[in-house]
Amino acid sequence: MKTLTLLRHAKSTWDDPVERDFDRPLNGRGRRAAARIGQWLADEGCAFDHARASPAVRVRQTIEGVEDGLRARLNPLFDARIYLASAVTLLDIVQGFANDAATALLVGHNPGLEDLLLLLTPDADPLRGEVEIKYPTATVAVLDLAVDTWRDAQAGCAHLRHFVRPRDLDASLGPDD
């Protein structure tokens, strides 16, 4: 059994005049949401043997916020392949994780993360419907993979144990009305 946690970066701003999408920073609500998700991870006793993340600015800032809430360092490996990756590319990355890691964190972007989650979970998984509606920013998904090695990860091998949106923890972190 392996545990894979997927985290979508927190809410970024479109107001900052950066030249590249890659360089967009988080907005205030995104910073608060990242810290709150980190607190939830701490409350749940989550710890990671391995962390891999997109090097985009908004992902790096999300990780900083999560670390503040978690009160622990994640020390992710930054992997440029994760930036705007497809589910197939993300699955290749997961399949390459070292087998001595039992619990891994992958931090990235949509639609790749959502598509990976939907690929890994069977249609009958009870929480899957929530994901199909939307995988909001700063949302964390914890999947239990029925595999002995990461390279065995494949379509339908996972059960979605948690799907936690920032608004589930604090209504002020939900969408604007």
Instruction: Residue 65: give its domain's CATH number.
Output: 3.40.50.1240
Kindly list the strands in the beta sheet with 158-164, ordered across the sheet, starting from the edge strand earlier in the chain: 77-78, 50-53, 103-108, 2-8, 140-145, 158-164
Could you read off the pLDDT of 77-122 as tens digits, one per residue? 999 999 999 999 999 999 999 999 999 999 999 999 999 999 999 9
Three-state secondary structure readout of 111-130: CHHHHHHHHHCCCCCCCHHH
Q: Consecutive sets of 10 residues in the chain, 177 residues long: mean pLDDT of each?
A: 98 80 94 98 96 98 97 97 97 97 98 98 93 96 98 98 96 77
- Look up the domain containing 88 and give its range: 2-173
Per the structure, the count of domains in the chain is: 1
Handedness of CA 132, 155, 43, 29 (dihedral sign): negative
Q: Check: CB of residue 39 under 8 Å from CB of residue 66.
A: no
Task: Answer yes or no: pTM beyond 0.85.
Answer: yes
